[in-house]
Amino acid sequence: MLTNEDLTRRLAMWQDVETKIHAFFQARGFVHVRTPLIVRCPGMEPNLDPLEVSVNGEPHALITSPEYSMKKFVGSGLKKIYTLTPVFRNHETGNHNTPEFSMLEWYAPGTYEDLMNETEDLLKCVLEDQTSWPRFSFQEAAVDTFGDPHTDEQRLFVTRYPKEHASLARLATDGTYAERFEAFGDGMELCNGFCELLDPIEQRKRFVQEQEERRRLGKSVFPIDEELLCALGRIKEPLYGNALGLDRLVMLKYAIRDIHDIQLL
């Protein structure tokens, strides 16, 4: 059990970061929304293992991301939205990972470049550091098989991910890369942002491919979220979205190396 002094210190760190995030997005006209934690159709990514639960005898899972619900909000007519929410991913261990953590996720009309600029502005605001974050392509950053870049920069964006590394992202006009980026700070992946794929036919195709890969790996195969596909078809202008690990942002700001050293319980 934490001492009162340690608990108070950790709460102050979280409050500082969350207060700055709310102020940042509200100043830009974003609406704060809430999303469900238990869903029938969690993320399909083969590298993720949702925590499965039974609800009234029916299979469900805790969310690995609020992404599907957020896109449904946009499909219903909301324009600029953000959320702070717990998310859950099984088999996440180590100094930077835990099965339950907090995520900031936001969506708005715009381009890939708009989102990178906005993300950099957010990081500068929360970290209270106006140093620019350099940008490297996936190839320039020499990203390894674990997804980690290898450059001399401690804080950077990695851009232009190969299309096979972005099942929910739109492809560039020439089809050579996905309009996706990640930010890294002091050896930690902080966020995954991209211009959203809005073609429900292509998205269904990618979901089926992910289902097949999950089946091949012996993992649970979840149903395709038909409401999500309908929502995508109602979105008529380019949309960007970003998912940022809030725990890691707190760690980065306060130079903490172990995620367990910022948790409250």
Residues 36-92 pLDDT 10s: 999 999 988 898 999 999 999 999 999 999 999 999 999 999 999 999 999 999 998
Q: How far apart are CA 94 and CA 96, in angstroms?
A: 6
At 94 the pLDDT is 87
Q: How far apart are CA 47 and CA 67, in angstroms?
A: 16
Structure confidence at residue 11 as a pLDDT band (50, 70, 90): very high
At 43 the pLDDT is 83
What structural domains and CATH numbers belong to the chain?
Answer: 4-261 (3.30.930.10)
Q: Which residues pair with 109 in a beta bridge?
A: 239
At 118 the pLDDT is 98
Average pLDDT, the chain: 95
Beta strands in the chain (DSSP E): 31-32, 38-39, 52-55, 58-62, 81-88, 100-109, 135-137, 155-161, 178-185, 188-195, 239-245
**Each residue of 214-251: pLDDT tens digit?**
999 999 999 999 999 999 999 999 999 999 999 999 99
At 173 the pLDDT is 85
At 252 the pLDDT is 97
**Each residue of 137-150: pLDDT tens digit?**
999 999 999 899 99
**Each residue of 164-221: pLDDT tens digit?**
887 778 888 888 899 999 999 999 999 999 999 999 999 999 999 999 999 999 999 9
Would the pLDDT of 6 be above 80?
A: yes
At 232 the pLDDT is 96
Structure confidence at residue 93 as a pLDDT band (50, 70, 90): confident
Structure confidence at residue 265 as a pLDDT band (50, 70, 90): confident
At 1 the pLDDT is 84
Which of 263, 251, 239 has its CA nearest to residue 188? 251
At 171 the pLDDT is 87
At 175 the pLDDT is 84
